[in-house]
C-alpha cells in the first residue's frame, strides 16, 4: 500500500460517489413508465438507457485507466435497455458503481502517464491512464445531467 492515497483516485472516488447520489435523486420515486420513457425528440434516450450506458462506460474506462481486464459489455444492447421500475434500475446502478469503486480503490497505485490502448480492435486510440479516468468521469457527469433533465421533461410533458 502506498504511503498516502493517490489524490487522483481519491478525487475520482468522490466524483463517482456524487454522481451516484445525483442519479439516485433523479431516479428515486419515478413511476415505472417514466424509467423507460424517451423524450419526443430525435436522438434522445430514456433514463434507463442513459443510466445503464453511463455506468458501464465508466466501468470500462476505469478498467482502461488502471490496466485491469475489461468487464463484460454489449454497447449496442445498452441503448435498448428497459427496467421494470426505479428500484431495479437503482439496484443495477449501485452494483455497477460498486464495481467501478473497486477499480479505483484507495489502495491502488497508478502510473498516470502510462499509455493504454482503447479496448476496441476497430479503434486505433492510445491514451494515458490519466486521460482514461478523466474521460470516464466527464462522460458520466454529462449523462448525470441528461438524466436529471429527462426527469424534468417527464414531469413537464
- What pLDDT tens digit does each residue of the chain (157 aa) get? 556 789 999 999 999 999 999 999 999 999 999 999 999 999 999 999 999 999 999 999 999 999 998 777 777 787 888 999 999 999 999 999 999 999 999 889 999 999 998 777 777 889 999 999 999 999 999 999 999 999 999 999 9
| Grid cell 468522490 in the structure block, residue | 14
Q: Measured between alpha carbons, how far is 21 from 68 in angstroms, rounded to an integer?
A: 26
Domain at 7-156, CATH from 3.40.50.300, 1.20.120.450, 3.10.510.20, 3.40.718.10: 1.20.120.450
Helices 47-65 + 86-103 axis angle, to 10: 10
What pLDDT does residue 2 have? 55
What pLDDT does residue 135 have? 96
Could you give the 3-state DSSP secondary structure of residue 114?
A: coil
What pLDDT does residue 124 have? 81
Could you give the 3-state DSSP secondary structure of residue 95?
A: helix
The radius of gyration of the chain's CA atoms, rounded to the nearest angstrom, is 16
What pLDDT does residue 80 have? 85
By C-alpha distance, which of 141, 127, 143 is closest to 16?
A: 141
Q: Which residues are CB-contacts of 128 (< 8 A; sequence separation ≥ 6)?
A: 112, 113, 114, 115, 116
Note the pTM of the prediction, 2 decimals. 0.91
What pLDDT does residue 3 have? 67
Q: Measured between alpha carbons, how far is 132 from 134 in angstroms, rounded to an integer?
A: 6
Amino acid at each position: 500500500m502506498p504511503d498516502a492515497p493517490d489524490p487522483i483516485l481519491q478525487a475520482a472516488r468522490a466524483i463517482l460517489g456524487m454522481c451516484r447520489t445525483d442519479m439516485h435523486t433523479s431516479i428515486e420515486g419515478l413511476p415505472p413508465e417514466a424509467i423507460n420513457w424517451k423524450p419526443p425528440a430525435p436522438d434522445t434516450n430514456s433514463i434507463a438507457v442513459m443510466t445503464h450506458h453511463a455506468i458501464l462506460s465508466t466501468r470500462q474506462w476505469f478498467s482502461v485507466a488502471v490496466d485491469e481486464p475489461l468487464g463484460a459489455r454489449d454497447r449496442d444492447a445498452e441503448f435498448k435497455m428497459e427496467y421494470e421500475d426505479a428500484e431495479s434500475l437503482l439496484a443495477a446502478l449501485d452494483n455497477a458503481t460498486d464495481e467501478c469503486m473497486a477499480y479505483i480503490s484507495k489502495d491502488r497505485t497508478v502510473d498516470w502517464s502510462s499509455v493504454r490502448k482503447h479496448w476496441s480492435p476497430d479503434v486505433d486510440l492510445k491514451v494515458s491512464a490519466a486521460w482514461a479516468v478523466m474521460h470516464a468521469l466527464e462522460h458520466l457527469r454529462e449523462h448525470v445531467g441528461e438524466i436529471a433533465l429527462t426527469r424534468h421533461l417527464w414531469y413537464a410533458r
